[in-house]
Structure 1
Amino acid sequence: MTDYTDPVKQARPRKRSLFELIADVPRLVTELVTAEIEQLKAELVAKLKALGIGAGLLAGAAIVLMFMIGVLLTAAVLALSLVMPGWAAALVVAGVLLLVAAILAWVGYLKLKAGIPPLPVDTIESVKRDIDVVRGIRKGGIS
């Protein structure tokens, strides 16, 4: 005689006790943390690779732009050479470039001077005031 048992009962795993489930928690937490770290690594590698490719393409675009500026300057010299000698046209374009460079350098110098010293002075003073308030010290003396 063949034993016909319920196939649903055969497929069910045995029920584990509460102590067995609690004993598995550290292993499950470790596996979860390990899986999360691996996912983080994979995501960071993909993003850093995309950043590297993007930065390389931007650098290539900047180089092509520099060549384009050279061509435009040459075109300016050639256009001016139609109304004056070529050497004078080149000197005029060079003079304009020198003037633009001097203005940019002056503005840059002023911005650098405004940023010296590179310390967050206002924030430091604010933190000192906050510490004094926590300590109970006022400007006029101890409260």
Structure 2
Amino acid sequence: MIDDVKFDDQTGPAGIPPASAPGPDRPASLGKLVEQVSELASRLVRAEIALAKAELAEKAKKSGIGVGLLVVALLIFAYAVGVLLLAAVYGLGTVWPLWLSALAIGGFMVLVVAVLALVGAQLLKKATTPPESVQRVKDDITSIKEGMQR
């Protein structure tokens, strides 16, 4: 994955030619070593950033495919529920008149929707009220201010 670090006969690690590389007869100066370390560090950071970008792109691609499949599944499920409701109407239509069975299934669905809406509204109401800890913090701040004024 790291393309800019190459090893071959003409260059050493990080593209440093062997002639300028320190050897037993040619010690590197401190400035040269610092320069090499900073170059290697910057290449490492760039390589890590490139790797992170590639990993995020791969995860985003997989997440997008997953979301797409879930949407298709949900759409098919919605049609399946409609077919099952129609089957329930026709099933009751064997015992009752068809209009009465459709009315009973429709009424049951409205009842289920009403119960779900009421429960959802109550949960939403609880979620939008500030937590008790916020009120306690406000009370503590008020008490501290009153204590400092005395």
Please state which band the TM-score falls in when normalised by the shorter chain: 0.7 to 0.9
- 2:116 counterpart of 1:99: no
CA gap of 1:125–1:46, structure 2 versus 1, over 3 A, is: farther
4+ residue runs over 4 A deviation:
11-14, 123-129, 137-140
User: Could you list the per-position Cα deviations for residues 47-76 of structure 1 after superposition, in whole angstroms to 9, with x for gaps in the alignment?
Assistant: 001000000000000000001100110110
TM-score by length of 2: 0.71
- Separation (CA, whole Å) in 1 of partners of 2:138 and 2:49: 36
2:120 to 96, 100, 108: 108
Query: Please, which runs of 5 or more residues in structure 2 have no aligned partner?
Result: 1-17
Q: Match for residue 122 of structure 1?
A: 133
Q: Match for residue 66 of structure 1?
A: 78
User: Could you list the per-position Cα deviations for residues 13-65 of structure 1 after superposition, in whole angstroms to 9, with x for gaps in the alignment?
Assistant: 64234442122122111111111111111110110010000000000000000
Q: Match for residue 84 of structure 1?
A: 96
- 2:53 counterpart of 1:41: yes
TM-score by length of 1: 0.74
Q: Match for residue 32 of structure 1?
A: 44
Query: Please, which runs of 5 or more residues in structure 1 have no aligned partner?
Result: 1-10
Seq. identity, %: 39
Higher relative contact order at CA 8 Å, sep ≥6: structure 1 or structure 2?
Answer: 2
Report how many residues are paired.
126
CA gap of 1:72–1:125, structure 2 versus 1, over 3 A, is: same
- Separation (CA, whole Å) in 1 of partners of 2:76 and 2:34: 64
